[in-house]
Structure 1
Amino acid sequence: MATQASLELAQQLFVAYYGRPADAAGQEFWAEEIDANGGDASAIINLFGTSAEFEARFGDLTNEELVNNLYQQLFGRDAEQAGLDFYVGELEAGNTTLAAIALEILTGAQNGDADAVAKKVAAAQEFTDLAGDAYVGNDAAEIAKDFLSGVDADTVVDDLDVQGVVDTLPDSEEPSDPGETFVLTEGRDVLTGTDADDTFTGLVGQNQDGAVSNALSTGDLIDGGEGRDKIEASMILDNEVDHGNSLGPRPNTQNVEEVYIEALESVTLDATRMENVEEFWADFGRGDFTVNNVNLQGSNLNITKDVTFGIKDTQFDTDFTATFDSQSLLRAPEEAANSQLQIRIADVSTQTPETPLANVSVTLGFELGGQEFVLEDVVSTDGSYQGLVEAIDAALAAQGLGDLQVTLSDPYTQVTVAGNTVDLPFTAQEILVTDPNGQEFGQVDFTQAAIESVPGGFLVAGNAEPVDPTVTSNLIETNLVLDNAGRGSIAGDVRIGGESNSEIGVERFNVTVDRGSKIASLAQTISNSDELEEIHIDSTGADGSLYVGAVDSDLNLIDATAFEGAELSIGEGTAVSDLVSFNSAGSDTDVTFVADYDGNGRASDAQAFTINTGSGDDSITADLTGTSTSTSTTASLTVNSTGGDNVVTLSSDDTEANEATVVLGSGDDTVTGGATHLTASTGGGNDTVYAENTGDKALAQLAAGSTYLAEAGAGTATAVNGSQVLNGRTVQVTVAMPEEGPTVAADSFVDGFEVTAEIQAANGVLTTERDLYEAAARAINEDPVVSKLVQATVDSNGNLNVQYLVDGVTVAAEQMVQVEVLGDWADLSTANQNNIVEALQEQYQDSDIDATDVGNLYDAVNTLEDFAEATATLGTDATTLGVNTVNAGAGDDVVVLSSNDATVDTLVFDQGGFGNDTIVHYNDAAGGDVLDFTAWLDNVTSASGSTDSQQRVATSLVDQTAGLGAIGENDVVVTQLEEIDGSTAAAVEFDSLTTTQLLEALNTGGSGAAAAANFVGNIQKSIVMVENFDGTDGNLGEYKVYEVSYNIADGEFTAASLVGVTDFGDSLNVGVMDDTNVA
């Protein structure tokens, strides 16, 4: 029995090194080891730190991550930089081990850190004591680790519900009963196992004749007996001596549950006479492995799902194929184990189709298990259908119904309202509530209500009804475990299904990933390729990542909601074709998904496709084309993601301009709409939206040998030129955007977007023209806005090339990019002036070069105004007719609208503020693009005075660039800083303009317009856009946007708030715009 002191120290080591409570057996073992070494943990610490658990959980981390993880596990915080650098240095130098570092950090804890350790160790010990023998296995370890991670210095240990956590531990597997190991020979083996867990080993080897042959082969008779038995064998093809034909080995086995085959060449195992096999594994193979005629012979096998296939440690490009005989393709019988409640809700009157449930509250009542439940006023967490799933799930859990499962189901785009079929402006999805215990739902009551009143009325189609469990049919399923498949490379194709003459196949794959795996494809066998309907992916053990290059087409579902790996990639080899629903919602996995949707040949009600992901950094690429067989409905796609930095790239080559809706969370997202009808809502974060962007992109070039920089030199050294005196100066680059006519030349603060960078000499003090161009390229590429519009490089010939990332028409010799050098000689310190002069004197061996001449040259360069011009690569406008709606949400966003002026795009400014937004390709002509402020401008009229008769006042555009005037309800007013400054007592500046100053200007120079007839309320709302131009200077095209309130009773403007800043690159042409340009 170990001493108490050593037991406590062992617990501390588990907490520090593994981040979890000790299991009882492990604590006792290591405590006894510590006692055996006189209580000195340092004597055993390196042995303690060497384990399969450590490799599985932490083996992929860098040294910095490993050391920092120790601090997180012990103290719940990151390491100080000094300590992190020290320990990483010691670790990399080989002076210590990570386990020894853990012990040192543990024993050195002080103050708050010591309190955190004490609380964690106390909580861990209580967990160990309560869990006892139930604390076994990887899943239990993860639960224990999650529990302990929530304990810190502020935790009251006595308040923890440790028993509640222990109760969630999974049932431990039955302990193994080791049996004997039987070695197969090259001859016919007849073997019978014991009542324990036996292993039959058969390795390919050389026989006495010098030939290489199988040990597990045709003619072997193996009976595993009782227990759980397995075969471990390497394999090549059997050979007929007389005829030289190759045969697939066909052994006879009974009561052997697991078979592991290492394929040394392309080999087929004939499983016709192999009974009771629950698992077939390709194990460490270097050749393709096929197992055919898989059957359900044996009392332990009843349905196809009882058989599992595994791929473990196989090499690059090794295929795996498994085929069932036709009689073994069996589904589970229908049973009442999946009683379900189906919910359908669609807000036909929504004003935000990108978040279609934002204004809907639902109340759901039902009877289950003899009890009545009511979920009142349930509201989607983010306005999406996945958000409603999360809200219903939380409401059920609050009523003790956490075991019920809430999932998204079939999408739909039409509803029936008052006997009329209505096309929805979004893709709705059914929601299923499932009781896995099989209780039936009854007495269902479902109502919905508007959160905010809707002008014109709230129109919703919604209902909930129980799904009779007896009509729920199970699919034919089988299981696949992937464990280091490909060994870091991509393993080959995986095909599982029926034999070639089977008329049915496997309909659902259940894929479980242990260590990270990569496979080229996952599909049915060729003869059953149209049978597969669903793929479900989850994790176990090491929770590795998964790459699947391709899958079968026309699947209904890929469900990865239970997948816990860091990365999931599907479709990078071949795009996934016509998958109805991809779902990884709720996970934090980084998803890469490539898809191809074609509605041609599909029914009208089969045109809606959906992609739902969680909070990871996702990359989604999809091509969307086609229309239904009846031509009444085009294919549509809805993409929902709850967070992360996502990249969504869409394309279409259809004239139908298929509808795509993209709703993203709070990350920094990039969305490209291609030729779709894009509706995008990108939430918080600094987002980039290319609404269409299918035209050609221009290339502008500033050639080497600028005439401005070749200006005459200083002193007698005429070779000295302006390019040599740029070190430490600032280069300012102005990038103009392609426009509807010939582009106006880039002109700083007049037309284009400005960026700057410091010019740095590559060698010494004196610079070259290339140094200037490199600085200009750096200014472009490092700017968070302009780098989304263009990318710059300096080629081997010294030319500055600016490649546009946005489309738009250009013509040859247009001055697209302006390069200017800023700074005066007088601004330099005397020391810096002397450094330049001395460097030039030394360079040219000319002492006559003096500060006056160099200063004149220096100041002459600051007049540089050279242009990169459009070259043979010219831009063109888009020709597609997609109509786009973009709501970039909060954050500093870049939005590139369609360059095709024949289309109308809408830019939605959301309630709550929208940051600093950069807008490209806004068509500021009457009937052109729309600035939508309806979230801010909500004034209504009511002819009867009732809510039902309320009508929103149409938005009007008011041009006050020449002077302030009357402002009415729901007006969008465009003015300039010059007009604001002219109506205030004190001078105002754009950067520091306050709402108080704005109200003073409006009350002095402006007025409230007469309210419309039947106006509701006393406050007239308006939007005032103030351009950054004071009559002389500024930054044309940049506007501060304010929400302004006018109190009719008081006769004055009483409130204003800055809601965001927009930069269009140049001034809005308000004189030719009209009310069609605002909403």
Structure 2
Amino acid sequence: MASTSFLQQAYLAYFGRPADAAGLLTFANASEASVIASFSASAESQQFFGSMDTFKQINTIYKNLFNREAEPAGLNHWAGKIISGEVTLAAAAMEILKNAQNSDKLAVTNKLAASSAFTAAIDTTAEIIGYSGAAAIAPARAYLAAVTSDAATLTAATAAAALDASVTSVVSAGSSSMGQTLSLTTGADNIMGTTSNDTFTARVVQNNNGEQTNQMATGDQINGGAGTDTLSAKIIAASALNQGPVTAIAPETVAVEKVSFTALTTAASTGNNEKMVEVNAKFMNGLSTISSVQSDASLLVTNVNTLKDDGLYANKRLTESLTVRMDHSGNDAVIAESDMAVLIDNDYLLRGNGTATAALTVALSPQLEVSKGYDSAKPLQFNPFDKLSFKIDGVSYEITIGTGTANKPVTTTYADLKAAIQAGLTAKGLTDVVLTQNIGAYTYYSRDGVQRTADTFTFAKAGSILTSQGAGAWIASSGLPDDNSFGATVITADTVTTKSQITVNVELEKVGRGSDGGDLTIGGMATDGNNKWDFSSSKTLEEGVEKFNVKVSGDATQFSSLASLQSTNNTLQTVVVTSASGSKADLVIGNHNTEGDITNALKDVRDFDASAFANNVTLNAHVSDESVAKYMKLKDESTDAPAKDNANFAYNFGAGNDTLNLNISKANLATAGGTTTREDFSMAIGAGAGNDKVTVQIGDGKGVVTDAWFINSNLNRNLSINAGAGDDTVSAKGAGTWTIAAGEGADTVYSDNTGKKAVWVLNTADQTGDSAAAIAAIATAQAAYDTALAAHLAIAGNTVATFTALPGTAALVTAISAPLTPVFERTLQNLVSDNNDQLLKLFKATATVDYQGFSKAVTIDSTNYLTSDLQINQAIKKAINSDAVLSKLLLATDGPANTLVITSLVDGTQVDTTAGADLTVTIASAKATEFSDVELAALITAGYVAAGSSKADVVTAINTAANAVNGPNADYAAKFAHNGKDAVYSGSNSANATFNIIEGAAGNDVIVTGTGTDSKDVVVYKNLFDKDAVDTIVNFDATKDMVSFLGYGLKAWSVDNTGGADVQSGTYAGLVAGDKYVLLTESTTNDGSYVATVYTDNGAAADTEVGVIGTLDFGVEQVFTSFNV
């Protein structure tokens, strides 16, 4: 049994405070093990330790016990035991206490004595109740924290006056937070709360007439008083007797800061509950949080205000004082999902003060004549300026802009000048000032009348105004020479005031209850509910909320799934997503309940920032044609800096495994002044770390090179994706001009990929029928039928009926249908299986799947040395679905009975004839050396070969059996599936154009280029050396696509080790000593695989290897030219 002494130790070790009366009573008859288990699962434990990692938890225990940090050895020791599951945190805390030595043991002894004194002093009813309050915990911990190994601290803490003061302080803190729980009735309530944190509850009850009714009703009055008060009400839609008039539920509350509604459905459990439960919050003053908790029905809260308790409009709060919480709301498993809409009185859509900013731009312009020594390679030669002075928000600063130990003026290049300016800012502590180099931005004339350009440098600080010091802002410490040839310019930009956004805080926990939840709408009352931009013609009316700060809470099983996240009238611009402390819950925006296309779940949001979110985000979003009017000026008005009125869309994600599905409206892009046709627009996607999936598409994905939007988008290059670290998949579907950085990790990038996908079937009842011949026969028979019918109908009086009755017509009809017979068994929707052959002599044989030059071999399983078709199927599935490359290109699945279906994941016209087949399955024997003597004896017994045969004979026998299985017309000759009518699933090239730039990075990437006639994709490598990396490049067309080695050098060459010559007939013409070039060396054993190596040309001497970029595997041999490399 747990003694009082043990309980005091447990409270000290785990919670860092003295035991309370309730705990002593609760655990008086409990075992010590059950006490430790209870402490681990307690709410106090979750609140105290929940947001900490294991190391912080252990360190906290050490500080509670010993008033010191944990030593590294102890920290690692206990962390290892806890992480492995050997002990719980509570059990570890008790062991740490028991094993205390020296001064640590004295500290524990003193703290336990202080704990006993404190608990004994809690001896009145008020004190017992007060110490049970949550707010008493922190001061109780502070009381023990003051007690150390020094005996004097124990004496001070337990002295009568000091102990009484500590008890009073702790009890007072606990008592102040302990309000009352007050219940509403079905009558007209008028309730006054206390000065503490009160809770007002209301239920749906059955009245004396047997009717279900709300306890919270229109006209109820609640005054919460002081403290933070909560109204928790279960409600159904308001109703009236005898079909009288009905209004929304409209209680009157003052000083009730939090309201929590549980909207209950009145529909039958099998019905479709479309009715909202409406609460009119017009008379609810002082609200800070509005929650829908455990709602089954949809909840609508209208006329929300931001008035304080006094109800004075002059004292209204900003909209950002409001929090909307959606918590465990219902899904659509049985009845309709639970939506939540909070509509704020438009008078209370209030933004904060804007932020004023102004940047400073400086330039040094050399005006020296060429005849007097101007050198364009060193434009800053003779520069005398080494300091710059300026003001930030009126405060003067002076930075040194020098080089070398003596900090002399920079006399070389503008790049060196930038580095010196940055160093000067850092030295002055101005690390929050952002420096930008604007290349060639300043145009001027030199002293000899020649027009030149100089780089300028812009200083900017968020929310600050930078101005010039005036004359003498550029400083030459050594004075200006008499023949000074440098102009020194300082330009202060106009002050720009950025409006703050109308903001609401959003909290989500298990929306949808583990399934698909409903819509969350937070906006203004003036709306038609269609979420379309600019609902009102009023220039002063705020039409909705512009920014949501979303916080997601819950454990790993409590993800939140929203059908949509929106404000009213398409006003939402910014969404910031973060995790609550310790939360493991994911967030999904867009599900089966989303109205229309799933990308409607988030509309025209410019900034989506989940970079600080701790878990996984799934986002379905749409940039519609309304974004032009919403964000962009169709006429650039900022002539000096056009980018000032740009609309830069940015979607950023964090370290989780995130998914983005984004569509940009084609109607938007196709119009003059539409999104990507203007330099005003950019879309930058940052997937962050984690294994992310990014899918983007412009409208319906269709587009050709002559489309205006395509031409302009290609010029602007304003669509970008940075997949970040992790094993990512990026699909740029359809036409587009995306710049895609794959990032580190094993990434997959699909460009366009909207052509038809080929489908093969294996082990059907007829793998021999020629699909192409069958289709041709159909076409021939059909043409003969049509010709005969037309000739017959050309004769007056003839009809289709008379044609059908002709003796020769039946033969034509038979000819039309007869050719289907050989491929009928391969109709994808109605496959006919071959038998499951189970006596195949294929022990230890391998199945090799080859697709367009990329292959994988897998050993086929056997049972008692014999192999079945199903075991072959399993081997093929493993070769495809488990391979790092083939799994990105193909999908193998079981078909009916014993069939196997292989579907291409990449588009393109495929071939299934024996010569040039894109997909082959080859079954072959293992090598003779791979069979043991025991296996040879067993195979002789199994009838593979005759007695006395060798292992080589076994190989011959197995290959003979294999040839019968995978020959040209055998069960495992991959053949296209048929549609049962007039076509085979042979795939097709795309009809779209893509000019995508795809940048490879560290890791083994799979890159699939577009198959459209006008697709010209570029695979880029720059500043990357990863000799072990193998990048697979599929669908590469040397007549259209390119491989670019930016940043490595000037030349690229191809050498075929199978005997072909290099591109320049063995010479590296055009190279100059010191030049870098890239050499592509083809493998002698794997056609189409090239090692890319960077060399430096050393003239007549041997060239120097700089580094290996990696291996590029195209599957088939390429012909590299100056065009495509």
Which category of TM-score, normalised to the shorter sequence, fits these structures? 0.5 to 0.7
Task: Report the CA distance shift for 1:662/1:1022 in structure 2 as closer, same or farther (over 3 A).
Answer: same
Query: 1:1023–1:521: structure 2 CA closer, same or farther, 3 Å change rule?
Result: closer
Aligned-pair identity (%): 24
SS in 1 for 2:1088: strand
Contact 1:792/1:803 (8 A) holds in 2: yes
Preserved contact between residue 733 and residue 780 of structure 1 (Cα < 8 Å): yes
- Is structure 2 residue 552 aligned with structure 1 residue 513? yes
Which SS does the other structure have where 1:820 is aligned? Answer: strand
Contact residue 186 and residue 216 of structure 1 kept, 8 A: yes
Matched, 1:819 2:845: no
CA contact (8 A) 1:42 1:100 kept: no
Q: Which of 623, 632, 640 is matched with 2:663 structurally?
A: 623
What 5-or-longer segments of structure 2 have no aligned partner?
62-69, 116-132, 142-171, 266-275, 332-336, 363-387, 403-420, 445-457, 475-488, 528-535, 635-644, 769-834, 977-983
Instruction: Tell me the residue number matched to 2:960.
Output: 860
* 2:989 matched residue in structure 1: 877
Give the Cα separation in 2 of the matches to 1:399 and 1:805. 56
AA paired with 1:534? T
> How far did 1:821 drift?
0.8
| Bigger mean CA offset, 600-609 vs 641-650 | 600-609
**1-structure distance, mates of 2:575, 2:517:** 19
> What corresponds to 1:264 in structure 2?
264
Give structure 1 stretches of 5+ with no counterpart: 15-21, 89-96, 129-135, 145-171, 346-362, 378-391, 420-429, 448-461, 552-569, 709-718, 737-751, 938-954, 956-969, 983-1001, 1013-1017
Q: In the TM superposition, what is the alpha-carbon distance from 1:572 to its structure 2 partner?
A: 5.2
Change beyond 3 A, Cα 1:517–1:375: farther
TM alignment of 1:11-30, pairs within 5 A: 13-14=13-14, 24=16, 26=17
- The one-character-per-residue Cα deviations of 1:478-506 (angstroms, maximum 9, x if unpaired) are 33333444333344322233334795333
Q: 2:606 aligns with which of 580, 586, 605?
A: 580
Q: Find 1:591's aligned residue among 603, 611, 617.
A: 617
Aligned: 1:923 with 2:1060: no
Give the stretch that moved more between structures: 618-627 or 39-48. 39-48
Q: Deviations over 1:890-919 (max 9, x none)?
A: 222222222235433222222232421222
Per-residue deviation, residues 651-702 of structure 1 (Å, max 9, x unmatched): 2324444553222323222222222113222122222222222222222334
CA distance in 1, matches of 2:34, 2:298: 48
Partner of 1:1028: 1083
Corresponding residue for residue 891 of structure 1: 1003
- Report the AA paired with residue 835 of structure 1: A
Cα pair 1:599 1:628 within 8 Å, conserved: no
Q: Please, which of 959, 968, 974 is the counterpart of residue 1055 of structure 2?
A: 974
Q: How does 1:621-770 map to 2 (within 5 A)?
A: 621-624=661-664, 625=666, 626-630=669-673, 633=678, 637-652=683-698, 653=701, 654-655=703-704, 656-657=709-710, 658=713, 660-674=719-733, 675-704=735-764, 724-736=840-852, 752-761=853-862, 763-770=863-870
Give the 3 Å change call, closer, same or farther, for CA 778–606 of structure 1 in structure 2.
same
**Paired residue type of 2:282:** T
Q: Normalization by structure 1: what TM-score? A: 0.65
Alignment of 1:549-564 (within 5 A): 549=589
Q: Deviations over 1:344-387 (max 9, x none)?
A: 99xxxxxxxxxxxxxxxxx997635736386999xxxxxxxxxx
1:45 to 36, 43, 47: 36
1:849–1:52 CA distance, 2 compared to 1 (3 A): farther
Aligned pairs for 1:424-503 (under 5 A) are 433-434=461-462, 441-443=466-468, 468=495, 471-500=497-526, 503=541
Give the match for residue 792 of structure 1: 892
Instruction: Tell me how far 1:174 sits from its aligned partner.
Output: 11
Contact 1:774-1:793 at 8 Å conserved across structures: no
Do the aligned partners of residues 787 and 866 (structure 1) sit closer, same or farther apart at CA in structure 2, a change above 3 Å counting?
farther
Three-state SS of the structure 2 residue aligned to 1:46 is helix
Asked if 2 retains the 8 angstrom alpha-carbon contact of 1:367 and 1:441, the reply is yes
1:488 counterpart letter in structure 2: G
- One of 329, 333, 356 as aligned partner of 1:314: 329
Contact 2:178 2:198 in 1 (8 A): yes
Greater fraction of residues in strand:
1
State the number of aligned residues: 825
- 1:327-406 pair list within 5 angstroms: 327-332=347-352, 334=353, 338-340=355-357, 367-368=392-393, 370=395, 372=397
Change (3 A) 1:805 1:175: farther
Contact 1:367 1:443 in 2 (8 A): no
1:1067 is matched with which residue? 1117
The letter for the 2-side match of 1:1044 is Y
Distance 1:639 1:400, change over 3 A: same
Deviations 1:194-248 (A, max 9, x none): 3343333333323334333332223333333344433333323444334444433
CA spacing shift, 1:463–1:80, aligned 2, 3 Å: farther
> Alignment partner of 1:1076: what SS?
coil
Q: Which amino acid is 1:682 matched to?
A: A
- Whether contact under 8 Å (2:762, 2:900) holds in the other structure is yes
Residue 639 to residue 1052, structure 1, CA distance change in 2 (3 Å): same
SS of residue in 1 equivalent to 2:1118: coil
CA contact (8 A) 1:521 1:550 kept: yes
The residue type paired with residue 348 of structure 2 is S
Equivalent residues of 1:184, 1:202 under 8 A apart: yes
Whether the aligned pair in 2 keeps the contact of 1:601 and 1:629 (CA below 8 Å) is no
Residues 13 and 94 in structure 2, CA contact (< 8 A), matched pair in contact too? no
Structure 1 residue 976: deviation in Å? 1.4
**Residue 888 of structure 1, CA deviation:** 0.9
SS in 1 for 2:662: strand
Amino acid of the residue matched to residue 212 of structure 1? Q
Partner SS for 1:579: coil
Cα offset for 1:787? 1.9
Contact 1:728 1:760 in 2 (8 A): yes
Matched residue type, 1:898: G
TM-score (norm 2): 0.62
2:390, 2:466 within 8 Å by CA — same for their partners in 1?
A: no
Which one has the bigger helix percentage?
2
Rg larger in 1 or in 2?
2
Paired residues for 1:260-299 under 5 Å: 260-265=260-265, 266-297=276-307, 298-299=309-310
The structural deviation recorded for 1:397 is: 9.8
Distance 1:295 1:755, change over 3 A: closer
Alpha-carbon offset, residue 860 of structure 1: 2.6
Matches within 5 A, 1:911-1060: 911-914=1023-1026, 915-925=1029-1039, 928-937=1040-1049, 970-976=1051-1057, 1009=1069, 1018-1029=1073-1084, 1034-1048=1085-1099, 1051-1055=1101-1105, 1057-1060=1107-1110
* Structure 1 residues 762-807: Cα deviation after superposition (integer angstroms, max 9, x where no partner): x333112332232133122222112222222343343343322222
**AA in 1 matched with 2:932:** S
> What is the CA–CA distance in structure 2 between the aligned matches of 1:431 and 1:536, rounded to whole Å?
27
Return the alpha-carbon distance in structure 2 between the equivalents of residues 173 and 753 of structure 1: 71
Q: Is the 8 A contact 1:732 1:822 kept in 2?
A: no
- The letter of the residue matching 2:327 is K
Q: Do the aligned residues in 1 keep the contact of 2:564 with 2:602 (CA within 8 Å)?
A: no
Q: State the secondary structure of the residue aligned to 1:49.
A: helix
Deviation at 1:819, TM superposition (A): 1.0
1:169 corresponds to? none
